[in-house]
């Protein structure tokens, strides 16, 4: 049976034809699988219906993920029935239904079940502070009655030097006669006086209290304790095994763990801790941590604090691996499913050391190792390299990334390709999109968008992206990784430098040495990537277990299944002794080792310069003074896998700085090898500029291009080792060089020698004609107006007082916070927790009144009649009044139907009740955990939304409804100010071809290029009513010659938008430049503005290209 971490056989052994077929139509194992947010009343029928929708758009599977808004009790019978339906749907549709191991995240608390079992399972910490003698005596007295591990108090007397360092310390176990206030001491320096008042360190073990809303009224758990992990596996994994264990296999391949850790959400003065830590520390390292606890926080003149700190963080990693990651992995292995997911805070030295010890050792045990990448960016390639390196070293082909979370609704297809290509180039090939919402009502729709679902206008086209990503995953899964260079990871140096947490600490200053180390490492890391020197990272914990030296042929340092021909040691202050021994043995056999100055002196947390001298004395060891020297030495000792050079004529543009550095290009690559066939995936990280490059490969062969958008494979030529290529902004290129069908394989030419390259395609267009608008346009979805300001009464006021103009008109987001508080509910606590009686709440009657304004003024233009529908979440559960007129919802006069976004968004026609000037919509209902909630409402239909605050000063934003012309003409650019600010749909632009071209039949070639689009998720091009091309990303060009045989063809461009301007956030000062979009960006706060912030959508201009 094929395992989840294995992919179907392919590559050279299968023959090029078999690989081409797999590339054209990749199977489910290569296709993206989104987080499917299970966040409402779960029913098997709706689960299966939505699974079919996901399948239609090319997803290969889905992760069944409990998230905020869940009404069905987590892990109960109804939940398991929905899980079974998801598994059954996957089997029927040939998809993968992945389990998710938690109610929200971080993993471990099982929705509150585990911490409720016993105090031992709850998260522990060590809270520390400096104190005077009286506080020390009080702590010692209390400590006499708190000797149970987990409740102990540790007290230390400190002596300070003039440099603010410790000159001495000792543990105090009882109240002693000499333990008195600091009186009569000799005159001291100000710093010594201050420290004299704080002559004692008090550290207390504690258990996190219950009551945290995120943990459903409980708290997080102690994953450093095996008892908590066992309870978690029993509550979650065993429950799934009993319910759907028979489905474990190809269609239910694994389970996702999300952000397990040992630090968050401890308070700022608390260090990671577990009651067994001192005992385990002594067993591992041979000395008592409690005798040296002050060195976790302070420097010491007579002894290096680095030894204690190094071993402390190392012990935390050991406990986390031993008591969580390994038992979890073994459970999955024993039951035939894969452990996947990601850990918390993998993306810097400080964050991973303090939250998970180190990232890379955990990936060894994940059958499908994974990470997350949040936001709309390509920041931090380090995180990607960490996980792909371990996958290479452990022989795992499938590497996951939870991607696109917090990127916001306006994330375009081009954005998604740009970010996905970044991952494919760095060895991550399983895209797990964040996220698809089961329900959009209430808080759910603000759950870290984008919402990649059937509610989006771009949904009918989403298969285009999924097919692209699936082909990229297939291509980058062939063969074996060809990365001959190993770059050591500096997390061990971070352990040696990093202090633990204590009250009053300037944490940024305390972490500064580690941040500096981090920055130096990133400089070298980035330089290697920028100069197309690919590499894997070497983690010392993994190398201690899986490292060796192979001298059977060319000397190689081996980590697991991967051989490396050269090693670079980045700027570090420390290495583990086992790592140093490996480097010495490798260098003795002639293996090149490049050290980055200054050479460190510490080994295993202690100063040992002699051990380093043994390495430095070897002739194959080179000390580089910086990144450039490292690159120069690599050119001497390690042949390149590929060279990416500016094409002729591009060098000057690079030197000018507009498109990058003069000696680098923003091109990443992923090289894999299967026998004599080499696979190269290349991607430009530059979103703004095109780059013409000259590619040089180490050997000549048959060169083919693999088109990720179409699935076509094109023969470029035989016996080639060079190629000129132009990357459009954020462009990508897949090539294979095949040596198997040549009579011989010869090396590439020497520097400057040009081998045969394919001739460029003939120029097809000789001129262009600009179409700059205005354009006739047609709206394909209902226009929208968001009503997000209202007046509100609650509780008894609903019955005793009417809403009047004197009631303040406030943003709905402000009222929502107030109503939640009054009802005793928390926004981030699951509804089922209240509905099952675990936590109390108060049903709260509310009355909301929304004003809006309308004008029949057509300004002499022929206009459509206003058609207006009121769209409200759970409308049927409310009493509704429009301008004082009650609506008999569900009657013949006021039929209610579902709005396309979501079945629980309900609409009713109010066209006949809309009047000129001010209109008022009043909603009366009782808020409960099941809804309805205090939410924004919408007007949808045939109208325009205009803005004139002087005409309607009472209108929020100055917006009002106006009739829509029968023929809409839009100027180039953003359609928002032209009557469609809140519109979430597709706008069809008709291009005036006949106005600029008398006879299209007279031209031999005919194309269309979009010029600087104002904004879109993607574009679709139609000719004579037929869609002929989808343009999801640059180049925004299409050849229309085959479809323009008739004179004056009707050419239309569909500009597809997103939910951004309807669902927001609409009131964040940063507008659409937000780097992070989560629930907080929709709430009141310092970022809030009552004005509106929109994303631009529209067509700027188009060029007809004629030949």
Res. 629: pLDDT tops 70: yes
Mean pLDDT of 98-120: 98
pLDDT band at 757 (very low <50, low <70, confident <90, very high): very low
Return all residues near 457 (Cβ < 8 A) that are at least 6 apart: 781, 984, 985, 986, 1017, 1056, 1057, 1058, 1059
Q: What would the 3-class secondary structure string for 243-270 be?
A: HHHHHCECCECEEEEECCCCCCCCCCCE
38: which strand partners?
66
> So what's the pLDDT on residue 164?
73
Tens-digit pLDDT profile for residues 337-346: 999 999 999 9
pLDDT at 497: 95
C-alpha dist (Å) from residue 812 to 433, 783, 817, 876: 30, 21, 9, 20
Q: Which pLDDT tens digit goes with each residue over 1044-1054?
A: 777 778 999 99
Strand partners, 852: 919
Q: Is 1071 left (phi over 0), alpha (psi -120 to 50) or beta?
A: left
Listed range (269-273, 433-437, 628-632, 1041-1045) with the worst mean pLDDT: 1041-1045
Count of C-beta atoms within a 10 Å radius of residue 246: 11
Say whether 1059 sits in a helix, a strand or coil: coil
pLDDT in tens, 578-626: 999 999 999 999 999 999 999 998 999 888 989 999 999 999 999 999 9
What crossing angle do the helices spanning 462-475 and 413-425 adopt, rounded to 10°?
A: 10
Task: Please state the rounded mean pLDDT for residues 874-902.
Answer: 97
- Write down the pLDDT at residue 752: 33
Check residue 304 and give its pLDDT.
Answer: 79
SS3 content of the chain, % helix, strand, coil (to 5): 30, 30, 40
Considering only residues 1006 and 949, tell me which one the structure prediction assigns the higher pLDDT. Answer: 949
Q: Which of 601, 681, 387, 630 is nearest to 525 (CA)?
A: 630
Task: Assign 978 a pLDDT band (cuts: 50, 70, 90).
Answer: very high
Closest CA to 590 of 628, 638, 525, 660: 638
The candidate with the shortest Cα–Cα distance to 124, out of 21, 238, 24, 223, is: 223
DSSP states along 960-995: EEEPPBSSEEE-SS-SGGGT-TT--SEEEEEE-HHH
Whether residue 659 is predicted with pLDDT greater than 90 in this model: the reply is no
CA atoms within 13 A on the CB side of 55: 16
| CA distances from residue 360 to 5, 570, 576, 832 in whole angstroms, order as listed | 17, 17, 16, 37
Q: Looking at residues 161-167, what average pLDDT do you find?
A: 83
**Per-residue pLDDT, 1042:** 85
Distances (CA, A) of 741 to 672, 701, 745: 18, 8, 9
- The strand order across the sheet containing 1006-1011 reads 767-771, 1101-1106, 1006-1011, 1037-1039
Is the Cβ–Cβ distance between 373 and 396 less than 8 Å?
no
Q: In angstroms, rounded to a whole number, what is the distance separating the alpha carbons of residues 783 and 964?
A: 10
Taking the C-alpha atoms of residue 1021 and residue 1025, their distance in angstroms, rounded to an integer, is: 10
**How many CB atoms are located within 10 Å of the residue 270 CB?**
24
User: What's the length of the chain?
Assistant: 1107
Residue 25 has pLDDT above 80, yes or no: yes
Question: Can you give the three-state secondary structure of 1008-1036, one letter per residue?
Answer: EEEECCCECCEEEEEECCEEEEEECCCCC
Residue 51 burial class via C-beta count within 10 angstroms: exposed 0-12, middle 13-18, buried 19 and up: buried
- What is the predicted pLDDT for the residue at 1000? 65
Q: How far apart are CA 528 and CA 523, in angstroms?
A: 9
Q: What is the DSSP annotation of 190-216?
A: HHHHHHHTT-EEEEEEEEPPS-BGGGT
- Cβ atoms of residues 854 and 905 within 8 Å: no
Task: Answer whether 175's CB lies under 8 Å from 133's CB.
Answer: no
For 355, phi then psi, to 5°, come to -105, -35
Residue 243, pLDDT score: 98
Upper half-sphere CA count for residue 206 (Cβ side, 13 Å): 14
pLDDT at position 10? 56
Using DSSP, state whether 1097 is helix, strand or coil. coil
Question: What DSSP assignment string belongs to 216-230?
Answer: TTB--B-TTSHHHHH
Q: For position 804, what pLDDT does the model report?
A: 73
Q: What is the pLDDT of residue 747?
A: 46
**Residue 176: which pLDDT band, with cuts at 50, 70 and 90?**
confident
Minimum mean pLDDT range among 60-69, 114-123, 1011-1020? 1011-1020
Report the SS3 class of residue 718.
Answer: strand
Which residues, at least 6 apart from 133, have a Cβ–Cβ distance to it below 8 Å?
A: 179, 180, 181, 182, 199, 200
DSSP secondary structure, 107-144, as one string: TTSGGGHHHHH-GGGB-EEEEEEEE-HHHHHHHHHHHT
Q: Please give the backbone phi and psi of residue 304, each rounded to the nearest 5 degrees, phi first.
A: -70, 125
Residue range 994-1023: average pLDDT?
Answer: 84
User: Does the pLDDT of residue 310 top 80, yes or no?
Assistant: yes
Give the percent of the chain with pLDDT over 70: 92
- What are the b/e assignments for 970-994, b being 16+ CB within 10 Å? bebbbbbebbbbbbbbbbbbebebe
Cα separation, 287 vs 281, whole angstroms:
8
| pLDDT for residue 656 | 55
Q: Give the Å distances, CA to CA, from 204 to 127, 129, 156, 243, 490.
A: 5, 9, 12, 43, 31
Q: Which stretch of 156-160, 256-260, 768-772 has the lowest confidence by average pLDDT?
A: 768-772
* Cα–Cα dist 578/286, whole Å: 18
User: Is residue 618 within 8 Å of residue 585, measured between CB atoms?
Assistant: no
- Residue 11 in this model has a pLDDT that exceeds 80: no
Q: Contact, 101 vs 237, CB < 8 A?
A: yes
- pLDDT for res 189: 46
Exposed/middle/buried for residue 950 (C-beta within 10 Å: 0-12, 13-18, 19+): exposed
- What are the counts of helices (DSSP H) followed by strands (DSSP E) for the chain? 28, 54
Residues 388-437 have pLDDT tens digits of 999 999 999 999 999 999 999 999 999 999 999 999 999 999 999 999 99
Q: Residue 582 is inside which H or E element, if any?
A: helix 577-588
- Cβ neighbours, 10 Å, residue 892: 6
Which has more pLDDT, 863 or 928?
928
Average per-residue pLDDT in the chain? 92
Q: What is the DSSP string of 805-869?
A: TTS--EEHHHHHHHHHHHTT--TTS-HHHHHTTSS----EEEEEEEEEEE----TT--BPPPEEE
Q: Which of 169, 163, 215, 213 is nearest to 192 (CA)?
A: 163
Domains of the chain plus CATH, in order, are 12-117+211-474 (3.20.20.80), 124-207 (no CATH), 485-637 (3.40.50), 643-760 (2.60.40.1180), 770-775+984-1106 (2.60.120), 782-962 (2.60.120)
Any residues with CB less than 8 A from the CB of 718 and at least 6 apart, and which? 701, 702, 703, 742
Q: For 374-384, how does the pLDDT look when each residue is reduced to its tens digit (9 = 90+)?
A: 999 999 999 99
Structure confidence at residue 491 as a pLDDT band (50, 70, 90): very high
Largest Cα–Cα distance in the chain?
Answer: 108
Q: Which is more confidently placed, 797 or 298?
A: 298
The residues pairing with 845 across neighbouring beta strands, listed in sequence order, are 926
């Amino acid at each position: 049976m094929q395992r989840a971490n294995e992919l179907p056989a392919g590559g050279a052994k299968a023959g090029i034809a078999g690989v081409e077929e797999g590339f054209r139509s990749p199977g489910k194992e290569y296709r993206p699988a989104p987080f499917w947010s299970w966040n409402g009343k779960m029913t098997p029928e709706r689960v299966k219906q939505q699974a079919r929708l996901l399948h239609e758009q090319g997803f290969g599977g889905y992760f069944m993920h409990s998230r905020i808004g869940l009404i069905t009790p987590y892990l109960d019978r109804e939940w398991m029935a929905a899980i079974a339906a998801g598994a059954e749907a996957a089997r029927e549709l040939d998809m993968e239904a992945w389990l998710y191991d938690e109610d929200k995240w971080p993993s471990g608390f099982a929705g509150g079940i585990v911490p409720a079992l016993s105090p031992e399972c709850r998260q522990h910490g060590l809270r520390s502070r400096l104190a005077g003698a009286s506080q020390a005596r009080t702590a010692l007295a209390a400590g006499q009655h708190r000797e149970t591990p987990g409740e102990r108090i540790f007290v230390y007397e400190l002596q300070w030097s003039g440099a603010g360092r410790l000159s001495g310390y000792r543990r105090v176990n009882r109240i002693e006669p000499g333990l008195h206030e600091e009186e009569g001491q000799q005159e001291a320096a100000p710093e010594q006086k201050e420290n004299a008042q704080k002559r004692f360190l008090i550290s207390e073990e504690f258990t996190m209290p219950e009551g945290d809303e995120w943990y459903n009224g409980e708290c997080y758990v102690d994953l450093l304790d095996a008892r908590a992990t066992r309870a978690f596996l029993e509550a979650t994994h065993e429950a799934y095994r009993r319910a759907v264990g028979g489905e474990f296999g190809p269609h239910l391949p694994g389970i996702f763990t999300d952000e397990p850790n040992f630090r968050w959400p401890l308070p700022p003065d608390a260090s990671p801790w577990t009651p067994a830590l001192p005992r385990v520390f002594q067993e591992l390292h041979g000395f008592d941590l409690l005798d040296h606890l002050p060195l976790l926080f302070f420097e010491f003149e007579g002894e290096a604090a680095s030894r204690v700190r190094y071993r402390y963080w190392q012990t935390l990693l050991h406990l986390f691996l031993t008591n969580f990651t390994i038992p979890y992995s073994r459970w999955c292995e024993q039951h035939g499913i894969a452990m996947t997911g990601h850990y918390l805070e993998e993306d810097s030295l400080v964050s991973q050391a303090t939250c998970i010890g180190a990232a890379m050792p955990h990936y060894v045990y994940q059958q499908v190792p994974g990470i997350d990448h949040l936001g709309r960016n390509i920041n931090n390639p380090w995180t990607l390299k960490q996980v792909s390196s371990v996958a290479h070293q452990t022989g795992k082909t499938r590497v996951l990334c939870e991607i696109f979370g917090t990127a916001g609704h306006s994330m375009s297809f081009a954005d998604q390709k740009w970010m996905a290509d970044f991952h494919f180039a760095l060895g991550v090939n399983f895209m797990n999109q964040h996220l698809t919402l089961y329900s959009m009502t209430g808080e759910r729709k603000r759950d870290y968008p984008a919402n990649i679902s059937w509610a989006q206008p771009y949904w009918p086209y989403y298969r285009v992206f999924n097919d692209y990503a699936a082909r990229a995953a297939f291509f980058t899964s062939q063969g074996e990784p060809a990365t001959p260079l190993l770059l050591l990871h500096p997390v061990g140096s971070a352990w040696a430098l990093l202090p633990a947490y204590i009250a009053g600490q300037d944490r940024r200053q305390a972490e500064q040495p580690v941040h500096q180390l981090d920055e130096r490492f990133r400089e070298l890391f980035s330089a290697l990537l920028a100069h197309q020197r690919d590499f894997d990272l070497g983690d010392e914990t993994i190398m201690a277990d899986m490292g060796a030296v192979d001298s059977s042929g060319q000397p190689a340092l081996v980590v697991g299944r991967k051989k490396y021909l050269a090693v670079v040691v980045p700027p570090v202050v420390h290495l583990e002794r086992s790592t140093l021994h490996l480097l010495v043995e490798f260098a003795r056999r002639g293996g090149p080792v490049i050290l980055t100055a200054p050479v460190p002196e510490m080994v295993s947390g202690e100063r040992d310069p002699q051990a380093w001298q043994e390495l430095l004395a070897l002739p194959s060891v080179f000390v580089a003074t910086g990144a450039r020297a490292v690159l120069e030495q690599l050119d001497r000792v390690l042949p390149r896998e590929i060279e990416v050079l500016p094409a002729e004529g591009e060098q000057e543009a690079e030197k000018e700085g507009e498109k990058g550095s003069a000696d680098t290009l923003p091109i990443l690559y992923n090289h894999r090898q299967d026998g004599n066939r080499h696979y190269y995936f290349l991607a430009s990280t530059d979103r703004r500029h095109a780059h013409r490059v000259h590619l040089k490969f180490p050997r000549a062969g048959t060169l083919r291009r693999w088109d990720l958008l179409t699935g076509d494979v094109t023969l470029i030529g035989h016996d080639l080792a060079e190629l000129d290529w132009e990357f459009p902004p954020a462009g990508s290129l897949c090539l294979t060089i095949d040596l198997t069908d040549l009579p011989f394989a010869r090396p590439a030419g020497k520097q400057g020698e040009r081998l045969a390259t394919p001739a460029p395609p003939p120029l097809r267009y000789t001129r262009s004609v600009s179409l700059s608008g205005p354009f006739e346009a047609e709206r394909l979805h209902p226009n929208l107006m968001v009503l997000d300001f209202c007046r509100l009464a609650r509780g008894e006021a609903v019955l005793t007082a009417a809403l009047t103009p004197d009631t303040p008109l406030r943003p709905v987001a402000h009222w929502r916070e107030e109503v939640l508080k009054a009802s005793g509910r928390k926004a981030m606590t699951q509804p089922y927790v209240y509905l099952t009686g675990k936590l109390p709440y108060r049903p709260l009657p509310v009355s909301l009144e929304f004003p809006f304004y309308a004008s029949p003024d057509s300004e002499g233009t022929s206009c459509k009649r206003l058609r207006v529908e009121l769209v409200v979440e759970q409308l049927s559960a409310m009493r509704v009044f429009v301008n004082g007129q009650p609506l008999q919802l569900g009657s013949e006069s006021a039929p209610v139907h579902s709005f396309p976004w979501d079945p629980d968004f309900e609409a009713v026609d109010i066209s006949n009740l809309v009047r000129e000037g001010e209109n008022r919509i009043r909603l009366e209902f009782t808020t409960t955990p099941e809804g309805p909630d205090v939410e924004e409402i919408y007007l949808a239909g045939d109208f325009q939304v205009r803005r004139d605050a002087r005409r309607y000063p009472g209108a929020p934003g100055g917006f009002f409804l106006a009739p829509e012309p029968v023929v809409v003409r839009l100027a180039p650019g953003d359609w928002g100010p032209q009557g469609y600010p809140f519109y979430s749909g597709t706008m069809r632009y008709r291009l005036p071809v006949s106005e600029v071209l008398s006879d299209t039949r007279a031209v031999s070639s005919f194309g269309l290029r979009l010029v600087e689009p104002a904004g879109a998720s993607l574009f679709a091009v139609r000719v004579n009513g037929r869609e002929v091309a989808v343009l999801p990303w640059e180049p925004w060009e299409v050849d229309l010659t085959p479809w323009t045989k008739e004179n004056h063809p009707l050419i239309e461009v569909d500009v597809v938008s997103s939910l951004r301007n309807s669902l927001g956030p609409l009131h964040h000062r940063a507008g659409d430049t937000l780097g992070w979009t989560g629930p907080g960006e929709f709430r009141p706060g310092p970022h809030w503005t009552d004005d509106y912030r929109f994303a631009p959508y529209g067509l700027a201009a188009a060029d007809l290209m004629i030949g």
